[in-house]
Structure 1
Amino acid sequence: MESFVVKRNACSHHEIFPGVHIYTAAGEAMMLSLVEFDPGAVVESHSHPHEQVGLLLEGELTFTIGDHQETVQPGDMWRIPGGVVHSAVAGDQPVKALDVFHPIREDYL
């Protein structure tokens, strides 16, 4: 039988940038990543064809999405269309966020 619950230690884990760790579980058409930033960690400017939406759980992140820059607080959400250049910088505390991608990012599995 297929397992419907994915424990954190069974998730795919990657350090995508120095001090930025992701833990990922995927279904057939979308995926969810828990993202943990060390204080001051940076997700450098990049883009991907995947649509991305996210939710900040803890800490503070300053996003640059296209030419728009904004700092988000816990409970704030973001949406990033595929192909749009974006980056993020953690504040002075650890950060936890959730990101959903569609379609699935094979590079995170």
Structure 2
Amino acid sequence: MENSFGITGFIFNDDIQWENVGDGVRRKIMAYDKDLMLTAVEFKKGAIGYVHKHPHKQVTYIVKGAFEVTIENQKKIQKAGDVFFIPSNVEHGVVSLEEDSLLIDVFNPYREDFIKK
């Protein structure tokens, strides 16, 4: 349920619309409050989550598919069931290696830049 700040309580996937974030990547903001945010991010084959950094801590669980994951200057191939953790202000990015790959990202604190004003 949406409340005065965020999406909390019982949340149903079918009630949340995908947001196109460009070039074969789309995202659903599943739940959040000021301290925590969970998003689902879907990538088409070859789609890129460009190398970037932010002040938020991030934990990512790979639900489906495989990715080339870059953390700082190190690259590894990770697949469904694997996890990566990004401390604050560390450069990172991904490239989807399979069609319809899916990640779950958790951020602390929430990503203000993801919330439409």
Q: Which of 38-47 and 13-22 deviates more?
A: 13-22
- Point out where structure 1 has 5 or more consecutive residues left out of the alignment: none
Tell me which residue corresponds to 1:107. 113
- CA-based RMSD of the aligned residues comes to 1.9
Q: Matched residues in 2 for 1:8 and 1:108: separation?
A: 18
Tell me which residue corresponds to 2:78. 72
Tell me which residue corresponds to 2:19. 14
Q: What aligned pairs does 1:30-109 form with structure 2 within 5 A after superposition? A: 30-109=36-115
What's the offset of the Cα at 1:99? 0.5
Q: Return the letter of the residue paired with 2:71.
A: I
Q: Which of 64-73 and 15-24 deviates more?
A: 15-24
What's the offset of the Cα at 1:9? 4.6
Q: Matched residues in 2 for 1:86 and 1:65: separation?
A: 4
The TM-score normalised by the length of structure 2 is 0.83
The TM-score normalised by the length of structure 1 is 0.89
DSSP-derived class of the 2:69 partner? strand
Q: Matched residues in 1 for 2:63 and 2:91: separation?
A: 23
Q: Matched residues in 1 for 2:19 and 2:114: separation?
A: 7
Matched, 1:23 2:28: yes
The answer to which structure, 1 or 2, has the higher relative contact order (CA under 8 A, 6+ apart) is 1
Number of equivalenced pairs = 109
Q: Matched residues in 2 for 1:74 and 1:34: separation?
A: 14
